[in-house]
Amino acid sequence: MPQELQSFKAEFFKALSNPLRIRILELLRDGDKYVHELQEHMGIDSAVVSQQLAILRNRNIVLGVKDGTKVMYSVRDPLLFELLDIAKQIFNHSLNHTIQMLQDMNQ
């Protein structure tokens, strides 16, 4: 695998390594949103939301389109949602494995 691709993947996953950014992406799954809409859903300061969006924008994960004085955000590639779904499946498999180990220990 070329080093450029490995570096891209590492930077891509670094951008996804923050729970707030994952939450933003999950909210964008339902459609494009303005910063204030994301802020309202998340219950955090709009400056924090903007900071996290800037990181996602710098990694070309989200796209911001100016609409007057506001910016509308969307996910650049919908395949990202499949990646998030797969991550959820991996989490569930891990959790099920842990539950099974605990059940085996208690027998």
Q: Does residue 71 sit in the same domain as residue 87?
A: no
At residue 1, the pLDDT reads 64
Q: What is the pLDDT of residues 22-65, one digit of tens each?
A: 999 999 999 999 999 999 999 999 999 999 999 999 999 999 99
What distance in Å separates the CA atoms of residue 97 and residue 27, rounded to the nearest whole number?
29
Starting at the edge strand found earlier in the chain, the sheet holding 33-34 runs: 33-34, 70-75, 62-67
CB 44 within 8 Å of CB 78: no
* CATH number of the domain that residue 60 is part of: 1.10.10.10
**pLDDT bucket at 100, cuts 50 / 70 / 90:** confident
- The yes-or-no verdict on residue 92 having pLDDT over 90 is no
Q: What is the pLDDT of residue 107?
A: 81
Domain count, the chain: 2
- Residues 58, 81 within the same domain: no
pTM summary value? 0.85
Per-residue pLDDT of 5-20, as tens digits, reads 999 999 999 999 999 9
Same domain, 9 and 40: yes
Same domain, 19 and 35: yes
Dihedral (CA of 60, 19, 44, 51) sign? negative
Residue 16 lies in domain:
3-76
Hey, CA dihedral for 75, 78, 80, 81, is it positive or negative? positive
